[in-house]
Chain A
């Protein structure tokens, strides 16, 4: 057994939250650069170059990439030989407390915006800490702990959609609906997008898969040929919409479309689309 304290986890998350807000991942920058090179519409090219300039400025001057520093989604992959340990000053903590402490400290020290309200419909009082985060935990082989933190903006999350298809639906029907979802996300959700797609599982698993799909490197296709081809077809169709950066027209409506799949019931074909804006902010750390 290897022991990791909750304090270590909180500190790692505090640091990740600030890095995520200021530093666009390398694969996202590369995708924006390629898009700017290939874009045929001059105003669209201009916007893409300004987004790249924005990412340089954010990193150099520690100004957040976007004022919506997001809801924090944390993926924790715990090696099965790892055991969590309490520190003397927080004997009752569980994993959620460590994540909460890390997010609150990161958002306060990093001068990040606190965008979370305590409940959805009554008072909508801001928690002032940007907590709680959404946490997804899983056990894996080994003695490492991998923490991935994503800051998800509200504008694009608002345009994400779910649909139960008949199990007899074909690929073309599913593709058409996904492209329609992207079209309707439109200018509001800050294109160019990364489109995360969850196929299969059940109601909630397909949604989780659509979010996990966003964590894959943008140039890395699905490992199965059928779904890799479908990703390619989707990206081509999405980019032929002509929506373009900021919805003002152009070739670059999405940087990538990524599909994650899971087995599902004979009666079901759940499909979830998680729309992500160009400010595709996530980083990981392994302890």
Chain B
């Protein structure tokens, strides 16, 4: 797990996504979108209703974050990941419509892990509670949809060398010694060290 990090550029290449494995360190550069609970609900409702989406999902990456307000001289405030599992019920639909990576903290459920494998996508883990440190990798931020949601609005972020770990890869692999969402007590000792 302490091998050198792999560059991950957006829009994501299917070839690179297919090659990265659970436990790999990645450094993300390019444009990514933010969305959390309410934005997911709206995106999925728009898809169900057959309406156009405010963002391009194709080969895209969604980061689960609700940043703090930017100080006047800054691009963004603290911007670390929120809990991924709250988005579980929405993620498969977004993957079906072209999304190729999600990023947050913590576990994904079986439906998401199955969909990642099915559509050839990955879930990335950023360090939860490192919001100050991670904000240093964000060079631009622009609200592009659902502004009324405040911190939960969809933002387009430009990131440079944003660090994360591949938590679930596109082949069914997981980095976590525990995957509590489905199999409580199912501890994998090999992954703990």
Residues of A within 8 A of B (CB): 40-43, 46-47, 50-51, 53-55, 57-58, 61-69, 111-115, 126, 128, 153, 155, 158, 183-184, 186-190, 241-244, 246-250, 277-279
Contact = CB atoms under 8 A, between A and B. Distances in A.
Which one of B1, B129, B180, B185 has the highest number of Cβ atoms from chain A below 10 Å of its Cβ? B129
Interface string B91-110: 00000000000000111000
Interface in B130-181: 130-133, 135-136, 150-151, 165, 175-178, 180
Given A50-B127, A246-B127, A57 B136 contact: yes
Contact of A67 (B78, B180, B185): B78
B192 A249 contact: yes
Contacts of A61: 132
B189 interface: yes
Interface of B: 1-2, 65-71, 74, 77-80, 82-85, 105-107, 125, 127-133, 135-136, 150-151, 165, 175-178, 180, 184-185, 187, 189, 191-193
A275 to B, nearest CB: 12
B78 to A, nearest CB: 4
A279 B175 CA distance: 23
B66 A67 contact: yes
Given A51-B129, A249-B192, 13 more contacts: A42-B2, A43-B165, A50-B130, A54-B131, A63-B68, A111-B77, A112-B69, A128-B150, A187-B107, A188-B84, A188-B85, A188-B105, A248-B176
A113 B130 contact: no
A241 B165 CA distance: 21
A65 B78 contact: yes
B131 to A, nearest CB: 4
Contacts of B177: 242-244, 247-249
Contacts of A57: 132-133, 136
Q: Please give me the 5 A-B residue pairs with the lowest Cβ-Cβ distance, nearest first.
A: A188-B106, A242-B192, A63-B132, A64-B78, A249-B192
A114 B85 CA distance: 22
Contacts of B151: 67, 113-115
Contacts of B127: 47, 50-51, 54, 246
A53 B133 contact: yes
A68 B82 CA distance: 8
Contacts of B184: 183-184
Given A58-B132, A190-B105, A69 B150 contact: no
A237 to B, nearest CB: 13
Nearest to B192: A242
